[in-house]
Amino acid sequence: MRGPNPARDGGHDTSGTDRVTRLEAGPAVVEVDAHDGARLTSLRLDGQELLVTGQGGGFGYGCFVMAPWAGRLRNGRATALGRSVEVPVEADDGHGLHGLVHSCPWDRTGPASWEVTVPERPGWFAPVRLRQDLRLEPDRLELTLTATVDAPTPLTVGWHPWFRRHLDDHEVALEVPAAWIHPRDEAGIPTTARAPVPPLPWDDTFGGLTAPVVLTWGRVRRVTIETDAPVVVVFTGRSYGICVEPQSGPPNEANHPDARIVTPDADLVLRSTWRWGLL
């Protein structure tokens, strides 16, 4: 696959098995489970866990990759390029949710690199090959997601991290410096309209960010999320965790008239950097 591979430039120690990779740099430790969607299952700073932990696949823990769509896909159907594709839907709301690679096995291809091809069944408009690269430093984690296609296809990718709502009894505070959101319709799908940022709680797609998103747990910990993503979905609807999801496009993008079409001559690359420190 083409594109940058920052993980192979060094900058961290690695250990573990073919399934679980452990990255270490100063006070930071990251664990990645190749068999669970190359999911970040743990991020510890000075021994303190920042992610909601779990196992067994699904949507409620760690940090997983979303592709070939991100968030909800209306009624599990995408229509683009004169074709329609149907994907599995979730029983709770009847929409496709978070793509096809979040819980399947990936191949570890480098010290901190993993690759997968979107399954042929139920399939997508064209084969999509994904590579996730991580680079861990004492003060940050750099994530890069690269998607390569064999033919033109609508494509949206992203990360879905679950951060703990509480650290040492301090509840997280969020700063989301966005200019607007895409308001949701009656089915819970973001529209293409723009509206002012509402008060909490959020399950919203934010755009026009002017600075990184900031998570602060009292005077215990501060994490900033930088990204080149055009939108970030923020979800605060659980008592145990919150989500800050950089995405290359909004949920249901494949059904938009101006959906991003990725072609074989130009990979889709998404980047995010998480920086941290004590307060």
Query: pLDDT tens digits for the chain (279 residues)?
Result: 333 333 333 446 777 667 999 999 999 999 999 999 999 999 999 999 999 999 888 899 999 999 999 999 999 999 999 999 999 998 688 999 999 999 999 999 999 999 999 977 778 999 999 999 999 999 999 999 999 999 999 999 999 999 999 999 999 999 999 999 999 999 999 999 999 999 999 999 999 999 999 999 999 999 999 999 999 999 999 999 999 999 999 999 999 999 999 999 999 999 999 999 766
CB within 8 Å of 35: residues ≥ 6 apart: 19, 105, 106
Identify whether 146 is part of a domain. Answer: yes
Report the pLDDT value the prediction gives residue 1, as an integer from 0 to 100.
38
Report the pLDDT value the prediction gives residue 92, as an integer from 0 to 100.
82
Identify whether 206 is part of a domain. Answer: no
Which domain, by its residues, includes 122? 6-164+235-268
Report the pLDDT value the prediction gives residue 7, as an integer from 0 to 100.
37
Report the pLDDT value the prediction gives residue 168, as an integer from 0 to 100.
94
Report the pLDDT value the prediction gives residue 4, as an integer from 0 to 100.
36
Tell me the residue type at 29. V
Identify whether 279 is part of a domain. Answer: no
**Cβ pair 54, 62 in contact under 8 A:** yes
Identify whether 190 is part of a domain. Answer: no
pTM assigned to the model: 0.93
C-alpha span between 84 and 63 (Å, rounded): 29
Report how far Cα 32 is from the mean position of its chain's Cα atoms.
14
Q: Is 202 helix (H, G, I), strand (E, B) or coil?
A: coil
Domains in the chain, number: 1
- 58 torsion bin: left (phi>0), alpha (psi -120 to 50), beta (else): left
Report the pLDDT value the prediction gives residue 20, as an integer from 0 to 100.
96
Q: What is the DSSP string of 104-144?
A: S--EEEETTEEEEE--TTT--SS-EEEEEEEEEETTEEEEE
Report how far Cα 4 is from the mean position of its chain's Cα atoms.
18
We report the CATH number of the domain holding residue 254 as 2.70.98.10
